[in-house]
């Protein structure tokens, strides 16, 4: 990490840092990537669709602030261990450092216990949990060598709470939250902070059908303290905070960004 002394002026600056955001071609991943670029980071955007990724990268570079940030496309499948290793090696060969990892890729398949085959569960665990483990393992080596780094895992409010018909996703996200705590303990002595963000209900493309549903809207107005959907850009501040000097003494934590869903009943 940048060793420059923190001041009120640079507390959230990410200038000179290299980051990777997975699942960054749209939705929350794209908003977090944009925010890191705006704060001056050189951000590699990951996704499986090269065309969508190029469009996202262009958007980040068009909206960047004057801090020298840059977005670059890096298409690969995070569930492919060999491809992941090659991607991290490419970043290190290009930038000679690795400062920030945001594990954002997720897969969801709402099914009951009897309705979800074991192979489908394994696929969800590979995407939501094992891929994050692999990425953490690969970036931990250069982070240890340079004396620090930031790992941010995107979990969900479905980690600490549950509902019927969604056990596989809750299992995967709960495991990711537990992994966050475990890696914070293991990597902390090397100056590596490991935290998580647990989003609530956000009005992303993936949730478009629910956003347009009047019953869901009415339910969410009653269920959340703020009485509304989160807008995708509202995840950005949490990501910048945990990636920056402002969170230098924060590790092993899950920052919930849910409009008060978990606090409200």
Distance CA 204, CA 44 (A): 21
- What lies within 8 Å, CB to CB, of 260 at 6+ separation is 224, 225, 226
> Is 169 considered catalytic here?
yes
With a threshold of 0.85, does the pTM exceed it?
Answer: yes
Instruction: Please report the pLDDT score of residue 7 as a whole number.
Output: 65
- What lies within 8 Å, CB to CB, of 198 at 6+ separation is 154, 155, 156, 157, 159, 160, 173, 177, 254, 255, 256, 257, 258
Instruction: Please report the pLDDT score of residue 68 as a whole number.
Output: 83
Instruction: Please report the pLDDT score of residue 63 as a whole number.
Output: 67
Residue-range domains of the chain with CATH: 18-255 (3.40.50.720)
Instruction: Please report the pLDDT score of residue 5 as a whole number.
Output: 64
* Residue 195 vs residues 4, 46, 133, 168, 219: alpha-carbon distances, Å: 22, 20, 14, 22, 30
Q: Which residues of the chain have pLDDT under 50?
A: none
Contact at 8 Å (CB) between 263 and 33? no
What is the token pair recorded at 138? Answer: 């690969």
Packing angle of the helix pair 27-38, 236-243 (nearest 10 deg): 50
Strands (E), 140-207: 149-154, 192-199
The pLDDT tens digits for 70-84 are 999 999 999 999 999
Distance CA 15, CA 9 (A): 12
Instruction: Please report the pLDDT score of residue 114 as a whole number.
Output: 76
What is the token pair recorded at 51? Answer: 């065309």
Distance CA 69, CA 40 (A): 4
C-alpha torsion sign, points 119, 169, 138, 178: negative
Instruction: Please report the pLDDT score of residue 166 as a whole number.
Output: 82
């Amino acid at each position: 990490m940048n060793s420059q002394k923190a001041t009120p002026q640079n507390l959230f600056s990410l200038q000179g840092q290299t980051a990777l955001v997975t699942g960054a071609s749209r939705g929350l991943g794209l908003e977090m990537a944009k925010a890191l670029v705006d704060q001056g980071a050189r951000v590699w955007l990951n996704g499986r669709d090269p065309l969508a990724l190029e469009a996202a990268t262009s958007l980040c570079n068009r909206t960047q602030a004057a801090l020298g940030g840059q977005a670059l496309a890096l298409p690969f499948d995070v569930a492919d261990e060999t491809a992941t290793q090659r991607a991290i090696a490419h970043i290190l060969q290009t930038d000679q450092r690795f400062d920030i990892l945001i594990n954002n890729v997720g897969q969801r398949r709402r099914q009951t216990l009897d309705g979800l085959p074991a192979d489908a569960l394994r696929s969800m665990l590979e995407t939501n949990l094992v891929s994050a483990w692999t990425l953490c393992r690969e970036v931990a080596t250069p982070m240890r060598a340079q004396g620090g780094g930031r790992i941010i895992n995107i979990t969900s409010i479905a980690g600490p709470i549950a509902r019927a018909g969604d056990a596989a996703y809750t299992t995967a996200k709960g495991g990711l939250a537990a992994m966050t705590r475990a890696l914070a303990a293991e990597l902390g002595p090397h100056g590596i902070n490991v935290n998580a963000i647990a989003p609530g209900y956000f009005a992303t493309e993936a949730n478009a059908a629910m956003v347009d549903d009047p019953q869901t809207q009415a339910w969410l107005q009653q269920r959340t303290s703020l009485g509304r959907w989160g807008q995708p850009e509202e995840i950005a501040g949490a990501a910048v905070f945990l990636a920056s000097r402002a969170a230098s003494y924060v590790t092993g934590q899950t920052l919930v960004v849910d409009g008060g869903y978990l606090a409200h009943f």
